[in-house]
Amino acid sequence: MTSLPTTRISAYPSYVLNMLALAGICVSLLVAFFFQLALGEIPCPLCMLQRVGLMMVGLGFAMNIRFGPSAVHYAIIILSAITGAGVSLRQILLHIAPGDTGFGSAIFGYHMYTWGFIAFMSTIIFSAFMLMIDRKHMTGSNVVIQTALGTVLIGFFLILSLGNLASDVLTCGLAPCVGDPKTYIWQR
Amino acid sequence: MIILPTLIFTTLAVLMTLRGSRKLAVISWVFALVFMLGAMRYHMDDILQISL
């Protein structure tokens, strides 16, 4: 029985770049959790959908790290980012009228949904460049993960995903989420 | 409840990625995307204060 050839994907520049991109997604989700847990800003349905968009984008980066770069993984990133950007843009338009103070706190002058839109658009541009950089290495299989850091990073991303799942259950329960939640389910 | 399925399938996809099941991860992502579009349709129904 012949074994499939393996490639050292840690040698590819894209491996490092995808790791950095996934780390960026983790930081974004951590900032969202900071605003929720430390400042008491419970996420609205659109905010939660943007977090899901970030998670789905992060999934594409995680797959590039775990299985090696692939056009399918970058398609997952781009489609997820377009979906997330759609939600961000919708929330921007909701608060674009003069006199509207926006929803939630601002970071460096921009609300989180504006940063979300910038992040999703940056992700699409990043993926377009990565598709050019990675074009010779796209296999999507027959690769082995070479660094423990990659496993740790994906594991941490999984913990953040589970945290968002728990957050949604604790905010909305099994009912549709209200537009501007003020309390968790045990406070009602 | 509306957003929960997409969260479940996304988390499942991340878990499958960590475990090395690429095919299951992609399938989970497809389900997550479909439920995400459904949740967007349900929640993005507020009337905008501007004319598009």
Domain boundaries, chain B: 4-40
For A157, the closest chain B residue by CA position comes to: B14
Average pLDDT, chain A: 87
Asked if residue B2 lies in contact with residue B18, where contact means CB atoms within 8 angstroms, the answer is: no
Compute the distance between CA of residue B34 and CA of residue B6 in angstroms, rounded to an integer. Answer: 8
Say if residues A13 and A150 touch (Cβ distance below 8 Å): no
Q: Which residue has the higher pLDDT, A179 or A22?
A: A22
CB contact under 8 A, A76 and B26: yes
Whether residue A96 lies within 8 A of chain B, CB to CB, comes out as yes
Q: Is the pLDDT of residue A104 over 60?
A: yes
Q: Enumerate the residues of chain B whose CB falls inside 8 A of the CB of residue A66.
A: 17-18, 20, 22
The answer to whether residues B11 and A165 touch, using CB atoms and an 8 Å cutoff, is yes
Please answer whether residues B25 and B13 qualify as being in contact, where contact means their C-beta atoms are separated by less than 8 angstroms: yes
Rounded Cα distance, B34 and B37, in Å: 5
Q: Across the interface, do B46 and A179 touch by the CB < 8 Å criterion?
A: yes
Query: How many contacts does A have with B, using Cβ atoms within 8 A?
Result: 117
pLDDT, mean of residues A52-81: 95
Mean pLDDT of A129-152: 75
Which pLDDT does position A100 carry in this prediction? 82
Retrieve residue B42's tokens. 């349900």
Tokens 């499939």, residue? Answer: A4
Least reliable range by pLDDT among A9-18, A87-96, A97-106: A9-18
Q: Is residue A161 within 8 Å of B13, Cβ to Cβ?
A: no
Position A47 scores a pLDDT of 93
Q: What's this model's pTM, rounded to 2 decimal places? A: 0.89
Q: What does the domain layout of chain A look like in residue ranges?
A: 25-187
Q: So what's the ipTM on this one?
A: 0.93
Just give the CATH number of A25-187.
1.20.1550
Is pLDDT at A177 greater than 60 in this prediction? yes
Query: Does B30 touch chain A if contact means CB atoms closer than 8 Å?
Result: no
